[in-house]
Structure 1
């Protein structure tokens, strides 16, 4: 056989964010002291009341299959959360699927609504996996390029430039990875009206919903124009520091969810049983630790942005949400974002993600995570300052 893998993989690249993680691990295994600002891994441990409930379930023998849609009590808790926090009303029996990660929720959403030849509009810069997921579904991702010049604002006028007769869906991420932007109420209304006018499905990734710094989170599914056409994807990884648990969910119109559950049944079957018990504890237990965690992130955000703006050739706006700074490094004279990231790793031992990984609009920037500890952030900024100062001094001497 000449081709032992499917042709669909020819246009798919490996995850750029996982590539950074793998590089860091490989260098550390060689004894290199690398400071990792590439990963969106919260430095906090999962709250004890969540792990206690999952441990209790595990030790009590709750280790068998659950319904593919998820535990009924967890579905009820998710429906209550959506109504309480997001003004989104869904039927827990028909309108929600619990998934092993929000990432899987996004994947089955794409697989369920996109046919080969369909187009999905994705405002970019955007998370690295969106476009690859669309391609795996046989669809064509259409990057609606946002501009740093206006703060990566989204407008109906911009979206209108990218819609065609093949457009089937629109994917929105708020708060955004990598830019940290949170949709304003005006932007959300314009997006909803655009989707209704063109009869589009909307997939909205709200995984960073709880990680906001004074900005408002508005779920598109709460708006009348978008309510019956929106799939809300969310999960526990970021807001509850549960990345390794792999637990998420998708909620939306029952007719779409009813078809989507087939993908769940024929792929993973269901999310982990005792993991779902942990998710139930997360939603129904104390929430104070989230505020404490986000307050610490807010301090780290101030530290990293101030440090970046003190570097020659670097400028950075304060992100409104999520866990990332997205500075403009184009004035450093160090080439593309990939070249800058490679130089920084080599000269300073600091790992960041090149902006080009996030699609059109990302070039000229790099993404730095402040999910890590304050000590690591401060040490990384010191290394960056030293490396950039050394380069500048060499240029002056030359």
Structure 2
């Protein structure tokens, strides 16, 4: 068998046509698949209560909508610079400096992207080559390892433990280091666990990265959603971290702008200069009028964010209380984000089995912990970004299941 034939034999086939081998390492998004299941069941007339997704039910702040409408009516519908509108770059730079202690030149240290997800993929594309490794603490958002796989790199899981509060230690990081390690992904506040990075933990992560000359890719999309006096800490603000940290953020979660698809990547100029090439040769730029809305979000929507956080706090209480009332289920209060990560090991079910029981018997959808990596097995993630009515309805349905867990 010649080299070309061996290549064909090892590659995937779609309708007899060769597809790239990278897809053998990547599955579809489990959370997107759940959303599609919910939509299908609702079309079929099933009154599903969806607690599986990460989408705020709030309306986008009025100031953001008004600014965007004005931009559209004014004909602001054309290309912008690939880096982003100067006005938006300026307010992002100011926000990073005043709120996060992160100092970058807005003209060279930021790229505005069509979604934080795109910013993450751009960051990984910037620092990883095929065959490289990136350490990903797990349980983790489903797309981190998939993105690495699409690049041809490998995500190495660093399994966190609930008994340790899902905290990341330098010892754990050192145990996952190889000569192929190039970066570490950190998510704070974390999806799905709700853990918020503390100062001691952050110092260990930065010390590890500095010792081994690694890049830190830090996903801060939930930064404004924290509870009980916890404080969001940006890794790039720590001594020695700025020169090796790419900070990812966006507008979807804090400002209820999921459909607007707006995010940004910030970091040292040498890395951002390369990230800009990814932007220029893929998406070109974020939508012009959406960027105008981003300016309004950062400058005129603080009260809306405060109101949403107040409501999330109430919903968190409803959700955790309902879960802890179920036999075999325990749930601690998340420190940040809007997910409850419930321990269901006492039910005798797997996470996928528990989710299936809830769907079949109560028409309630949750995300099985196994979707977030092997370390998530024995847990399920419930989103309290849904309305109070939905959460209370789901709680009543779950209460009706109490004591009815099937065996196995």
Normalised to the residue count of structure 2, the TM-score between the two structures is 0.95
In 2, the alpha carbon distance for the partners of 1:361 and 1:181 equals 15
Q: Aligned match of 2:157 in 143, 146, 152?
A: 143
Q: Aligned match of 1:169 in 159, 173, 183?
A: 183
Match in the other structure for 2:255: 240
In 1, the alpha carbon distance for the partners of 2:310 and 2:304 equals 10
- After superposition, what is the alpha-carbon deviation per residue over 1:1-42, rounded to whole angstroms, capped at 9, x for unaligned? 844321111121111111110000000000001000001110
- Conserved? CA contact 1:67–1:270, under 8 Å: yes
- Conserved? CA contact 2:225–2:337, under 8 Å: yes
Confirm or deny that 1:373 pairs with 2:387: yes
Gaps of 5+ in 1: none
Match in the other structure for 1:12: 26
Confirm or deny that 1:93 pairs with 2:124: no
Match in the other structure for 2:317: 302
> Residues 1-398 of structure 1 correspond to what in structure 2 (within 5 A)?
2-213=16-227, 214-333=229-348, 335-389=349-403, 391=404
- Offset at residue 388 of structure 1 (A): 2.8
- Conserved? CA contact 1:107–1:133, under 8 Å: yes
In 2, the alpha carbon distance for the partners of 1:378 and 1:195 equals 44
- After superposition, what is the alpha-carbon deviation per residue over 1:74-125, rounded to whole angstroms, capped at 9, x for unaligned? 0011000000100000001111000000000000111111001111000000
In 2, the alpha carbon distance for the partners of 1:307 and 1:371 equals 15
Q: What do you get for the CA RMSD once the two structures are aligned?
A: 1.1
- Conserved? CA contact 2:64–2:301, under 8 Å: no
Aligned length: 392
Gaps of 5+ in 2: 1-12
- Offset at residue 285 of structure 1 (A): 1.3
Give the 3-state SS of the residue equivalent to 2:105 in structure 1: coil
- Conserved? CA contact 2:61–2:301, under 8 Å: no
- Offset at residue 289 of structure 1 (A): 1.3
- Conserved? CA contact 2:218–2:247, under 8 Å: yes
- Conserved? CA contact 2:68–2:293, under 8 Å: yes
In 1, the alpha carbon distance for the partners of 2:181 and 2:193 equals 25
- Offset at residue 343 of structure 1 (A): 1.3
Match in the other structure for 2:10: none
- Offset at residue 226 of structure 1 (A): 1.1
- Offset at residue 225 of structure 1 (A): 2.3
- After superposition, what is the alpha-carbon deviation per residue over 1:332-354, rounded to whole angstroms, capped at 9, x for unaligned? 12x21111111110011000000
Structure 1 stretches of 4+ with a deviation exceeding 4 A read none
- Conserved? CA contact 1:168–1:201, under 8 Å: yes
- Offset at residue 356 of structure 1 (A): 0.3
- Conserved? CA contact 1:148–1:361, under 8 Å: no
Normalised to the residue count of structure 1, the TM-score between the two structures is 0.97
In 2, the alpha carbon distance for the partners of 1:325 and 1:23 equals 21
